[in-house]
A and B are shown apart, each in its own frame.
Chain A
């Protein structure tokens, strides 16, 4: 059964479908959460996630983006968990701490960071043209002319690479975007 059919079955209170869904998706959800949380907390959050799936399967709109929907629930559960623990217990990755404080919710920021890292990796390995262009233009804040000179290519090439980079990242981020809750129920 494909994911959409499984989630529809879960909405009809089929617990074997939930079990199938669990063993199909829990591994990668766990891996992704593990980047943000310690192992024991990953287990708790994953449990809450699938209980939320059991309760909320009826709200899923089948558009082939089951993974995004599941990740969205896992994200919310993880953020809930982190918030419940209180600021003193927030275990943020060293990377985030090194970047200095974030405005807004540190918990959400930690998860956004994971999403962003993945979107960047969609640009290719380090040193690939689109990724290097993106890094120079958006991380190091260089102008088109400066990037063209550094990379030894015409300005037009820089612009088209930047455009392609933005397109790739947008696609990657949209793929992981959670379904809106309660949409069209």
Chain B
């Protein structure tokens, strides 16, 4: 035993631990308290709401819900507000769906989760994790987008109009990311899909906001979103049948 000299030597005179005291067990009790992680307030609230501490932990570790990502989203939307105020074109409404699609693609799936195979064997099913993450990312992006849209002084039709296209674009991004197991493909698919929709609207009706405000597209958007949702459900199944 090392020591600082005579002064520290005296108390080691009692020898090894008594045979009936399990020091390893004592250390485990100490380590359990010293190593434990204290969940933050958001996680504790989520655990109560979702009635599952595992699901809450999976939610707060979503890549696109981490602080850096959220800040980036806010910055983009603020830029959109700036452009809108400057040019009159409702940039927020044009940007928000694409930004949300990126967030959704980076919320879930084999491309983004290195321990993907292990996650599939968990009691908290990966589909539940997907559902909760997608809902929260979508909700957060919708809220931020609405705030930015209102702040940029756009008309009500435009302020709310992009929520439906955003649903469709997010569903597309999620389906692409899940099927190809790559979040980047999801982002690309979602963004490309949205750009095509906007340009097609512009070509058909002469204005960029056609894709957002024309109520003709609402049902097609929702139908498309439902199809993509079905694709996601199919891709994440564990049936007992053939692959």
Contacts and interface: CB of A to CB of B under 8 A. Distances in A.
A15 B34 contact: yes
Given A3-B3, A64-B8, A67-B10, A51 B30 contact: yes
Interface stretch (A25-33, A76-84, A148-156): A25-33
Interface string B187-214: 0000000000000000000000000000
B11 A64 contact: no
Interface size class, chain A: 20 to 34
Interface stretch (B21-29, B150-158, B234-242): B21-29
Interface stretch (B12-20, B84-92, B102-110): B12-20
Contact of A51 (B3, B7, B33): B33
A57 to B, nearest CB: 12
A30 B22 CA distance: 10
Interface in A19-44: 19, 22-24, 26-28, 30-32, 34, 39, 42-43
A23 B22 contact: no
A32 B17 contact: no
* Secondary structure dominating the interface of A: helix
Given A2-B3, A2-B4, A43-B22, A50 B17 contact: no
Contact of B1 (A24, A31, A65, A71): A24
A65 B7 contact: yes
B4 A23 contact: no
A68 B17 CA distance: 18
Interface in A45-88: 46-47, 50-51, 54, 64-68, 71
Contact of B34 (A26, A42, A54): A54
A176 interface: yes
Interface in B151-188: none
B10 A175 contact: yes
Nearest to A65: B7
A172 interface: yes
B14 to A, nearest CB: 4
Given A28-B14, A67-B11, A172-B10, A47 B34 contact: no
A65 B27 CA distance: 23
B34 to A, nearest CB: 5
Contacts of A47: 26, 29-30
A4 interface: yes
B18 A34 contact: yes
A18 interface: yes
A31 B12 CA distance: 10
B15 A28 contact: yes
Contacts of A46: 21, 23, 26
B121 interface: no
Contacts of A28: 11-15, 17
A101 to B, nearest CB: 28
A19 B12 CA distance: 18
A31 B14 contact: yes
Contacts of A4: 4
A28 B30 CA distance: 17
B243 interface: no
Given A43-B25, A175-B10, A54 B17 contact: no
Given A22-B27, A43-B25, A51-B33, 15 more contacts: A19-B27, A19-B31, A22-B30, A23-B23, A23-B27, A27-B17, A43-B21, A43-B26, A47-B29, A50-B26, A50-B30, A54-B30, A64-B4, A175-B7, A176-B11
Interface of B: 1-5, 7-8, 10-18, 20-23, 25-27, 29-31, 33-35
Rank and list the top 4 A-B pairs by shortest CB-CB distance, nearest first: A64-B4, A27-B17, A67-B11, A39-B20
24 contacts: A2-B2, A2-B4, A3-B3, A15-B34, A18-B30, A24-B1, A28-B11, A31-B16, A31-B17, A32-B11, A32-B14, A34-B20, A43-B21, A43-B25, A46-B21, A50-B26, A51-B33, A51-B34, A54-B34, A64-B7, A66-B4, A71-B11, A175-B11, A176-B10
